[in-house]
Amino acid sequence: MNRVVAALLACSSLSNGAIAARPEVGPDPNNETQVLGKRVSGFRVQGLPLVDALIQLGMATGQPMGIEYVDLESLEKPTSFSLDHGTLGEGLRLILAGRKSYTWRVENAVLVVTNAFVRMGRANLLHRVLPAFSIPRCTLQEASHELEMDLTQQLHPGMGIIGDYNPGLKGLTVGPLEMKDVTVRQALDRLVEAAGQAAWVVQVLPRESDQAPSYGFWRVVEYNDGATVGRVGELILRVMYPVGSPPSYAKPGDKP
């Protein structure tokens, strides 16, 4: 495990590879058709919560993904299904069947799964605008950590992040990138789009989406990380509730 100072050295800003932040625009119908039409076969999910089922689908199709809403049910409640031959869109509809508040959109090359209860504007740190975000060539997890530090600096000027962090898989790198006037969500989308084999997932409940917890507002999942894939819901619950067990998803308390 590396120290934060290593992250600062590894992910310092570079002037080359600069790109402008993409504007907040609606979904591209052509791009959405291409993404949702990706083929999948022999796909099985057995006893995994919603969050992990979605990530398994992304891994099976090589589709970068963002999950901007979680609740206790999506992190805990097991689900099982299979799709012998079909498309990513069919798999997505199968996973989200019966969950009427869930929707999805395709932004550039990233499939974003969202919910009607997602908070908007200043009530959600995903919409926080950073004046600049830049990284050199580094691992995806290092880039995510740099983004987290930039957000922390904006929320609490002069405050750093103390402790270890996961440097990620050396083979999954991104950058150099430089973005101007970019929302946190745009930056996350750009990182997983550049990585290709990855997803980002918020790890706060809806009512807390205006706060940055010490364990991090989001988690970046690398599809080739066997220690994480299939356990994302469990790992998020562990950081949310480090002592004791979380309340049952059948009870109120995780609602927006």
Average pLDDT, the chain: 85
- Which pTM was predicted? 0.84
pLDDT greater at residue 246 or residue 194: 194
Tokens of 28: 């591209």
Q: How much is the pLDDT for 6?
A: 40
Phi, then psi, of 183 in degrees rounded to 5: -75, 160
Range 8-29 burial, b when 16+ CB lie within 10 A, else e: eebbeeeeeeeeebeeeeeeee
C-alpha distance from residue 240 to each of 49, 196, 203 (Å): 16, 28, 8
Q: Per-residue pLDDT averaged across 43-47, rounded?
A: 95
Q: How much is the pLDDT for 30?
A: 59
pLDDT tens readout for residues 103-151: 999 998 999 999 999 999 999 999 999 999 999 999 999 999 999 999 9
Question: Is pLDDT at 218 greater than 50 in this prediction?
Answer: yes
222, 227, 230, 233 alpha-carbon torsion, rounded to 10°: -90
Q: Per-residue pLDDT averaged across 226-254, rounded?
A: 81
Q: How much is the pLDDT for 250?
A: 52
Question: Is pLDDT at 25 greater than 60 in this prediction?
Answer: no
Beta bridge partners of 134: 178
